[in-house]
A and B are shown apart, each in its own frame.
Chain A
Amino acid sequence: MIVEQVVLIIAGALALVSALGVVLMPNAVYSALMLLLNLVSLATIFLLLHAQFMFAAQLIVYAGAILVLFLFVVTLLNPQGENILRDKHRLQQGGAITLGLVLACVLVGGLLYAFTSGTQPDLATSVTQTGSTYGSVEAFGQALFTQFLLPFELTSLLLLVALIGAVVLGKRK
């Protein structure tokens, strides 16, 4: 178990540091790269939790497609770019900080509740004992197409609407 713990600590630390980097980096391209590091660290943590499909989806969809698009736009439109993120939007900054704190409170509260109520899954034993099918592609697919069929289909509808919207915007001269 010790190897997994070491990897988990490294990946977790990297995820935290890179998440801070996304916000604090002066240049948008470096922010995007920090986001890449963050996504890869999270994917590693998914893998350690035996969520194999989440690992692959995280890399293929987020790191491999969405972030490439971010980087694509940022590198193309941001040649001098040092100051573009330094614009002071007081209201926006205040709102971001407030909402961030609220989210942090919810997260910490949830964790505290889970730890004190005594129902928290013991990570070390649950991962080793649930066997290899837990979190596998088969289990994920089964759950997606039976238990969560309706949300899944609704999401596909949402994506279709976004796609049509993009085509309409692109065609309008």
Chain B
Amino acid sequence: MQWTDVLSFVIKALIVAGGLGGLGLYSSLFERKLVGRFQNRYGPNRVGPFGLLQPIADAVKLLFKESLKPKEAKNPIYSFAPILALTIAMTAYAVIPLGPDGLNIFGAKFFIADVNIGVLYILAISSMGVYAITLAGWSSGNKYSLLGAIRASAQIISYELALGLSLLSVIVLTHSLRMQDIVAAQSGNFWNWFFLPAIIAFIVYCTAAVAETNRAPFDLPEAEQELVAGYLTEYSGMSWALFFAAEYINMITVSSIATTMFLGGYQPLIDLGWGWDWAAPLWFVAKVSLLMFGFVWLRATLPRLKYNRLMHLGWQVLIPLAALNLIIVSVVVAIVS
């Protein structure tokens, strides 16, 4: 590897990080607009045409807000936790392919890194996300924050197992951990996508992904009625905004992983033949948007679970289901091949 390669990686990483930051901002508008519609109102529509400048106004407001720090806060960690949250949320994106190997703009391909262990890398990075929350809760020096953090870490560790098991089914189907191979194995029409042979795994993944991102109906770590705002209670201004952005970027990331693993990645719905390669990133964005819509839909529809139900669902329903699916897929693959 040469220094020029490093430079190209850095430039790509900056573009992806900037893009994710912007998308994270605008997914907040996406969510507020949609939740507004679900609740029979307009949602934000005052700033700019159709409220399109609302996220920018919010970001500017948060930038100029004072970042308060409680007296009890343990400082290096208290300031570091939001940065860690955002970094980890963005890092998983390094291996997600937005376009096929052949497609490029000025020689730059539509992914940062094409590694042999793509799926393991994603699992490794997503298992680090819990640190930001635990540290934020602990360093705030507040009981509600600590309780929220403990809930969050217990929840994330529990659902990570189901998440990993559900992804294993796809690995068994493709015999590869490379993201490009997994997408290529789903080429052709939409009935080749893995959400059909691994339908149970797909459902388990989606459920576990909602829990991993601490979104409703699994948003117990920030349950307002019981915990004020959980681990976010003491954060304000820009450090709060970083957590907020991290949550939305996490949503985008888990949706992208689901798209890549189960929904054919950048492959079109039906095979359009040659000449349509340039549309691959657009297909990817469309699929991710669909899953993001699902996230918002869930939030607008379902009430929050009780904590014991949450643990019951994770350990006694999702993990056995994912294991069962893995066994079925393995047996079928062994018989066919």
Contacts and interface: CB of A to CB of B under 8 A. Distances in A.
A85 B120 CA distance: 36
Contacts of A2: 3
Given A56-B120, A137-B120, A71 B150 contact: no
A59 B160 CA distance: 13
Contacts of B124: 43, 55-56, 59-60, 63-64
Categorize the interface residue count of chain A: 20 to 34
Contact of B131 (A69, A71, A76, A132): A71
Interface in A70-129: 71-72, 75-76
B127 A64 contact: yes
A75 B127 contact: no
Given A3-B2, A3-B3, A71-B134, A59 B117 contact: no
**Which of A55, A60, A63, A137 counts the most chain B CB atoms within 10 A?**
A60
Given A3-B1, A56-B123, A68-B157, A137 B128 contact: no
A36 B146 contact: no
A4 interface: yes
A75 B134 contact: yes
Nearest to A59: B124
Contacts of A136: 116-117
A83 B135 CA distance: 20
Contact of B153 (A43, A72, A137): A72
Contacts of A53: 117, 120
Interface in A40-64: 43, 52-53, 55-56, 59-60, 63-64
B121 A56 contact: yes
A68 B153 contact: yes
10 contacts: A3-B1, A3-B2, A43-B124, A56-B117, A56-B124, A60-B123, A63-B128, A71-B131, A72-B134, A75-B137
